[in-house]
Each structure stands twice: as structure tokens, then as C-alpha cells.
Amino acid sequence: MYVEINLLSIAVVLFLLPLAGALIAGLFGKQIGRSATHWVAITLVGCSFLLSCYLFAAIVLLGHPPVEGVIYNWVTTGNYHFDVAILLDHLSVTMLFIVNFVSFMVHIYTVGYMADDPGYQRFFSYVSLFTFSMLILVLANNFLLLFFGWEGVGLVSYLLIGFWFKRDSAVDGGLKAFIANRIGDVGFVLAIAAVLTYFNSLDYHTVFNHVPAVLGQTIRILPHIHAHVITVICVLLFIGAMAKSAQIPLHVWLPESMEGPTPISALIHAATMVTAGIYMVARMSPLFEYSPAALSLVLILGATTCLFMGFLAVVQQDIKRVIAYSTISQLGYMAVALGASAYDVAIFHLMTHAFFKALLFLAAGSVIIALHHEQDMRKMGGLAPYMPITYLTFAIGALALAAIPPFAGFYSKDAIIEAVHLSTTPGAHYAYLCVLAGAFVTPLYIFRALFLTFHGKKRHEGAVNESPWVVLVPLIALAIPSIIAGGMLIGPMLFSTPHLLGDSIFVLPQHDVLTAWAVDYKGAQTMALDASHTLPFWLAVSGIAAAWIFNMARPEWSDMLKKRFSWFYEILIDKYGFDKFNQVVVVQGTRRLGEFFYKVCDLMMIDGIFVNGSGRFIRLFARVGRHLQTGYIYHYALAMLLGLAVLLGWFVLGF
């Protein structure tokens, strides 16, 4: 009992530390100064990271059973009790470790990147508050607290994306992210309402334990159209995940988030906000497993996102936008794993992706610092001799993303490809073709970025120097797990008994693709050595070769392809028309709908008929009634006689 209380107390302190850092930096930053602000924020987040390491060691490595506890009662109404309660199990402490590690690196990196920014203290406050919200989301043991953290990261991401609020593009990017996430949140709130309606609780374990009792129930969607309750809940939950984790068609906000400072691009896109949807679906595996339709939806949308967002990364010129579209594509890979019921594989790729994607963003930020905030790759080139450490770390991130063995991304991405290949979920064949094609597209766009940035002719003016150590240390720290994490974790996460994620994940026997793959798995080293016998490996190598040929050896071939397939190139430049559709249908459509309701419902009906109309009616009635008051006795006598005649007539005819 003492150990459990101790772990719960540690968890409470763990998420309160970043909150304290946010409050100190936000309220007292100007008083204590820039140096004290970053020392306080970094120290508190660093302590939170150390505590997450302790919890990870206690529960995952030492095998302490999961711990669950109520911090305090939030709301009590009737038979419902909504608590601030946390859950420490294998999945939550693994996510705690990832989130805090990346956040800690970003905090350190921020000292160098934001050194000259007038909003220095405010930025540290926002980043620490973002970390606090994400930790709440991960630690929640019920849907209500999950929603609190969910909305917290959404709100703070809006503040961070629009951090440079004097730039119109930053304001527009933040607003776009906020609106897109609110669209997804409509589905998420409806899902929570449905859970409360049919399960009478928002507690995870209570809901999961009562799933068999709800399996046969249906809900009316439209007249004469009914659907299973579990399927409706899962689809609504995934709509929320689509917005947070940038799945088609709610992906449009994520590239615009590049308007924020690079440190927050790394934090949002690596291991925190965008992976919240992936984490949520994995956490809800006891629900999704009983809805084949929802799994198919996740699988197909994830596969489409994976491939078609990768195509967009190929034609981007902004180095941060290349990595942003890469993030969307990799989130598609994770969604494919979820749809194939390989939840462990999705979390495995989430973990490795957190390391190498944060590395790529921060390395790109190092380049941007050196070039005085230039982000266009056409104005870079030949930086490798001037920035050797940045170049090396970016290359490591690129190799990991391209799934070249033995880098981390090789193990997790190949695991996804193998899982979907073995899956029997409807749509698995389409998803398999998409992830295979993605194995070629991914190295094509990331090595295109590497070659244009670090190789070839120098296309920039002025001296270029390597970034300061406060920027390079996080790069080196992230490069290490980007190399070794995949080989170290694939066995414990996917094939050991029990798995590293323990009982946090639920998979029905008929969906268990990992057990089928375990028969052929012979270890991480063998997997890397045998990679040359697999199709994904040669697709990756071909992607790298194509990037070199079309951007370094024969750049004129790239121009020729643009002209030959100009129609397809224009589609990619136009981003498949999603932005235009949103502008015409969502933005202008909403504005026109608002104008209609204002002119017709407000001005014409409410003001014209009910408000002004009632006044006009009373005035008309008074004007007519005034003629009845003549003052002549014979008029009144005539009215009495007519009234008497009407009454007598009604009496006689009625009877």
C-alpha cells in the first residue's frame, strides 16, 4: 500500500511540476529575468522527466502492478461521480517517458533558438503548460479528465502556433489549427456522451468491463437506419483522433502550424499533440476490437493519409513543411497499425518516431538559425562542411525515417508493413499497397531535403557557423535513440511475454497479427541482416537513389518530369484542393450561412416580424379600434343590436 501511494504521489508531482514552471514563467518571468526563467522551466521539466523514468522503471522494468487512484472528486451529480483520477500502467508510463524526454530536450533547445526573441518568458510558459496538458491526457483514467487534457493541448497549441501574433500567417495558422481541432472535438464530445448514456460511467475500467453487455445494442442514426452502439462510439472517437493526429481530411491544420517557432514544431509534431489521437485509440482497444467497421475505417484512412501526404512532402520547398507533411504521413502509418489491431506496433512506431522526428525538426531549426531564419531549401545548399554536427544528426534522422537498418525507424516501420500484410481486416490489401509505396516515397522526400540543404552548390550569402552547444546537445541526445531504440525495443514491445505494454492493450485472438508474425521473427539483429531480402528495403534504397538522381546528379530530369506530368504536379502544389475546398465550402459557406441567418432569421423574422411587427400590429389595431369609439349613442345602440342578432342567430341555428 505504501508503494502504491508513493507512486501516485510521484505521478501527481510529475504533472504539477510543468504547471508550476508555466505559472512562474508566465506570471513572474519579467520580474525574475530571462536566465532565471529558463533555468526554472528546464529544471522543473527535467525533474518531471526523472520522475517519469522512475515510474517507467518501477512498473515496466521491475514489474510493479498498475496503480490507479483518485486525487479528488471533481463533480457529483445524482448517481454519477466524476473524479480527477490517474492510471499508472505500462502504456501510460511509456508515454510519460516519451513526452517528458522530448519536452526536456525542446526546453533546452529553446534557450538557443529563442535567445533574441522578446517573448522569451512567454514561450517557456506556453511550452511548460503544453507539457502539463499532455501529461494530464496520458495519466487520465476516465474520459472526462482525458477530455480536459485533450482540450488543454488544443488550446495551448493555438497559442504556440500563433506565438508571433504580429504575423498574419501565424494568426491564420493558429486559428486554422483551433477550428480543425474543434471539428474533431464535436465527434469526441458526442462519443463521451454516448459512453455515459450506455455505460453510466466514464471510468475506463468500468466501461471496458461492460462492453459485452452493450455489444448487442443498436442506436438509430437516421429513420430506419440503425448501427451498433460500439461502432458509433468508436467512429466518433476516431473523428476526434483524426483532427488531433491529422488524418485526411482533418489534416489541413498541421502544415500551417509551421508558422510557430521551430521548438514547438518539434514538440507538437514529435511525441505530444499529434500522437494524442494514436494514444487514445490504443487506450480504447477494448472498444475498437469489437467494431470491425471502425477498424476498417481507421485502416483505410490511415493508409490514404500515409501515401498521399507523403507525395505532398516531395514538392515542398520549405524545409519545415517537408518534415510537417512527413509527420502526417507517419501518423498515417501509426493509424494503419491501429486498424490492423497491431496497437503495440503503433505505439512502437510512435516511440521511435518521437525520437527521429524531433531530431529532424531541431536539426532543421539549427539550419534556420545559421541562415538567419531562412527556411527555403532553394536558398540553402553546401552546408555540410560548415555545420558537421547538424548535418550528421539530420542524416541520422533521415536514415531512421527512411527505415534503413539498423536505425530505429526500420524496425517500427517494417513491423507495420508486416502487420498489415498479415491482417484480415477489410481494407488491408489496399493499406498494404499504400504502406509499400510509402516505403519508397518517404526516403525520396527526406533525402531530397537533406541533399538540397547540405549538399551541392552554396546558394546562400554570408558566413555560416555551427549552432551553439545549447542547440547541439539536444540533437546529439535525440540522435542516440534514433539509432538504437528500434533494435533495443522491438523484442520487448512486440514479442516478449508479457509485452512491454503489458495488459494495457486488448486484442481479440482473431485479430492478433503479432502472434502470427512471431513464428518468423528471429531477433532484431537477424531482422536487420535479412533486410536486403525484403521488398521494403529495396524500395527505401530506390527512394534515396531517386532523390540523389533528380536533385543532385540530374536536376534537369526533375524539371522534365514536372513539365511532362504538370497536371499531377499542379494537383500536389494545390494540396489536392483541400485548402480551396475549406476556403470555399467551410469558410465562405459558413460566412454565407451566417449572413443568411442574420438577414432572414434575425433582421427579417425576429426584428421584422416578432419585434417591429408586433409593434406595427398593435399600432394598426389601435388605429382601427379608435374608429369604434365615436361617442354617438346610436352607433353603440346599433352595435348592441347587431351583437344581439348574432347571438340569437347562433343560438337558433346551433340548436
Query: Is the Cβ–Cβ distance between 53 and 97 less than 8 Å?
Result: yes
Q: Is the pLDDT of residue 271 over 70?
A: no
Concatenating the DSSP letter of every residue in 402-449 gives: TT-TTSHHHHHHHHHHHHHHH--STTHHHHHHHHHHHHHHHHHHHHHH
Instruction: Return the pLDDT at 461.
Output: 77
Mean pLDDT for the stretch of residues 353-372: 88
Q: Is the pLDDT of residue 613 over 80?
A: no
pTM: predicted TM-score of the whole model, two decimal places: 0.87
Interval 121-134: pLDDT, tens = 888 899 899 999 99
Answer with the residue of higher pLDDT: 646 or 52. Answer: 52
For the record, the C-alpha cell of 606 comes out as: 425576429
Please state which of the ranges 77-91, 271-285, 525-539, 620-634 shows the lowest mean pLDDT.
620-634
In whole angstroms, how far apart are CA 436 and each of 171, 252, 418, 568? 37, 24, 10, 21
Mean pLDDT for the stretch of residues 24-45: 88
Concatenating the DSSP letter of every residue in 367-403 gives: HHHHTTS--BGGG----TTT-HHHHHHHHHHHHHHTT
Q: Is the pLDDT of residue 609 over 80?
A: no
Please, which pLDDT band fits residue 3 given cuts at 50, 70 and 90? low
Q: Is the pLDDT of residue 146 over 70?
A: yes
> Which helix (DSSP H) or strand (DSSP E) does residue 88 occupy?
strand 80-88
Answer with the residue of higher pLDDT: 597 or 351. Answer: 351
Instruction: Return the pLDDT at 270.
Output: 63
Please, which pLDDT band fits residue 1 given cuts at 50, 70 and 90? very low
Mean pLDDT for the stretch of residues 235-250: 88
Query: Is the Cβ–Cβ distance between 390 and 472 less than 8 Å?
Result: yes
Interval 44-61: pLDDT, tens = 999 999 999 999 998 988
Distance from the Cα of residue 288 to its chain's centroid:
19
Largest CA distance in the chain: 117
Instruction: Return the pLDDT at 303.
Output: 93
Q: For a pLDDT cut of 90, what percent of the chain falls above it?
A: 30
Cα gap 505→107, rounded to integer Å: 31
Instruction: Return the pLDDT at 511.
Output: 87
Q: Is the pLDDT of residue 540 over 90?
A: yes
Q: Is the pLDDT of residue 655 over 60?
A: no
Q: Is the pLDDT of residue 647 over 60?
A: yes
Q: Is the pLDDT of residue 4 over 60?
A: no
Rg (CA), the chain: 30
Query: Is the Cβ–Cβ distance between 443 and 547 less than 8 Å?
Result: yes
Instruction: Return the pLDDT at 444.
Output: 93
Q: Is the pLDDT of residue 638 over 90?
A: no
Round the average pLDDT of the chain to a whole number and report it.
Answer: 86
Cα gap 390→151, rounded to integer Å: 35
Interval 185-207: pLDDT, tens = 899 999 999 999 898 888 898 89
Terminal Cα distance for the chain, rounded:
89
Please, which pLDDT band fits residue 2 given cuts at 50, 70 and 90? very low
In whole angstroms, how far apart are CA 349 and each of 57, 119, 330, 343? 21, 34, 9, 10
Q: Is the pLDDT of residue 585 over 90?
A: no
Taking residue 387's Cβ as centre, other Cβ atoms within 10 Å add up to 24
Angle between helices 535-548 and 408-422 in degrees, nearest 10 = 130
Instruction: Return the pLDDT at 468.
Output: 85
Please state which of the ranges 179-183, 353-357, 392-396, 421-425 shows the lowest mean pLDDT.
179-183
Interval 55-90: pLDDT, tens = 999 898 888 888 888 888 877 777 777 888 898 989
